[in-house]
């Protein structure tokens, strides 16, 4: 059986409205990118939320950005099983838990648990927590746009959207 090939439903990069929104979206992400939240944590969180949401485009993007930044293959490959891994710090585990619980709001009656919040509080300052909360919201929005439009993973090149910001 041959794999089913789905073409994007709309060219989000070529559409004027989507492109203008994308530029503003990218500018909003700069606030997070320029925060004191470690870049590797930002990418790990983005990758985990993207895996949960089944966003091939975003999984492709964040795995490649992690690799380009020098992240090890074992840490990239184990993100989906981080709870059963020994390669993440306690701080990264807290961020990944927040990403999962913040992404699965509809699946959990409690949203982000008090236990997860306490772990995040233990490892991050207020600015980093604000960046983390904003990042989870932003990556979930990006995942939804890409999945709805059927943007497929495989063609992303690290840094390809660097010229969108500014």
- 102-112 confidence digits (pLDDT tens): 999 988 777 89
The phi-psi region of residue 82 (left if phi > 0; otherwise alpha if psi is between -120 and 50; otherwise beta) is: alpha
| pLDDT at res. 151 | 85
**Residue 124: how many CB atoms within 10 A of its CB?**
21
Is 64 contained in some domain?
yes
Tokens of 103: 């992404």
| pLDDT at res. 6 | 67
Is 5 contained in some domain?
no
Q: Which of 140, 130, 138 is nearest to 29 (CA)?
A: 138
CA distance 49 to 123: 20
Is 130 contained in some domain?
yes
Is 127 contained in some domain?
yes
Tokens of 8: 């994007």
Is 9 contained in some domain?
no
Q: Which residue has the tokens 């184990």?
A: 78
Is 26 contained in some domain?
no
Is 105 contained in some domain?
yes
| pLDDT at res. 119 | 98
| pLDDT at res. 141 | 95
The whole-model pTM stands at 0.90
Residues 107-136: pLDDT tens digits? Answer: 877 789 999 999 999 999 999 999 999 999
The CATH number of the domain holding residue 94 is: 1.20.1290.10
With 60 as the cut, is the pLDDT of residue 2 above it?
Answer: no
User: How many domains, the chain?
Assistant: 1
CA distance 139 to 76: 17
Average pLDDT of the chain?
91
Residue 97 sits in which domain range? Answer: 37-154
158/46: higher pLDDT: 46
């Amino acid at each position: 059986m041959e794999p089913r090939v789905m073409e994007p439903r709309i060219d989000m990069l070529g559409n004027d409205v989507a492109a203008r929104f994308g530029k503003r979206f990218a500018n909003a992400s700069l606030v997070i990118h320029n925060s004191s939240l470690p870049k590797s944590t930002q990418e790990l969180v983005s990758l985990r939320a993207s895996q949960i949401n089944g966003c091939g485009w975003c999984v492709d993007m964040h795995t490649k950005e992690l690799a380009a930044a020098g992240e090890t293959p074992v840490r990239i490959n184990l993100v989906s099983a981080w709870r059963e891994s020994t390669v993440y710090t306690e701080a990264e585990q807290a961020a990944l838990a927040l990403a999962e619980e913040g992404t699965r709001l509809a699946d959990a009656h409690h949203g982000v648990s008090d236990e997860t919040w306490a772990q995040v509080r233990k490892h991050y300052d207020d600015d980093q927590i604000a960046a983390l909360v904003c990042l989870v919201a932003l990556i979930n929005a990006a995942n939804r746009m890409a999945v709805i439009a059927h943007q497929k993973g495989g063609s992303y090149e690290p840094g390809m959207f660097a010229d969108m910001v500014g």
